[in-house]
């Protein structure tokens, strides 16, 4: 696991047609693959739509490694809501895997 394996705040920039995402992390762009999602030649439109809705939402990222192609492999969470016990964060891969 890389030294940056600490969860960090990031900002969503865009999603690529292959389902990879570009995040802003520490002022630089990070081309990343979300851990837990299968690699696909064609990403379902509902996944692309859901990923695009992350723009402007608080995000947390942990870099867990690198792909063979050199992209960052990440765990990505978003702030889903606040309730009386505090913030509720959801894992992006879990949410997308649950879509049919």
pLDDT in tens, 33-83: 999 887 776 778 888 888 888 888 999 999 999 999 899 999 999 999 999
Count how many residues are written for the chain: 100
CATH number at residue 75: 2.40.50.90
Q: Is residue 79 part of a domain?
A: yes
Q: Is residue 28 part of a domain?
A: yes
Residue 23, both tokens = 């995040």
Q: Is residue 14 part of a domain?
A: yes
Q: For 4-19, what is each residue's pLDDT tens digit? A: 479 999 999 998 877 7
Q: Is residue 65 part of a domain?
A: yes
Q: Is residue 1 part of a domain?
A: no
Strand segments, DSSP code E, in 1-100 are 8-15, 21-25, 28-34, 59-66, 72-83, 86-91
Domain total in the chain: 1
Domain span including residue 91: 8-97
What does the alpha-carbon distance between residue 2 and residue 53 come to, in Å, rounded to a whole number?
Answer: 28
Closest CA to 61 of 93, 97, 16, 87: 93
């Amino acid at each position: 696991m890389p030294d940056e394996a600490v969860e960090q705040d990031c900002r969503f920039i865009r999603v690529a047609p292959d389902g990879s995402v570009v995040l802003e992390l520490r002022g630089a762009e990070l081309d990343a693959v979300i851990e837990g999602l299968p690699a696909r030649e064609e990403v379902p439109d509902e996944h692309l739509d859901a990923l695009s809705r992350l723009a402007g939402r608080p995000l947390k990222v942990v870099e867990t490694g690198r792909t063979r192609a050199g992209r960052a492999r990440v765990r990505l969470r978003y702030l889903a809501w606040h309730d009386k016990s505090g913030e509720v964060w959801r894992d992006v891969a879990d949410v997308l895997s649950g879509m049919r």
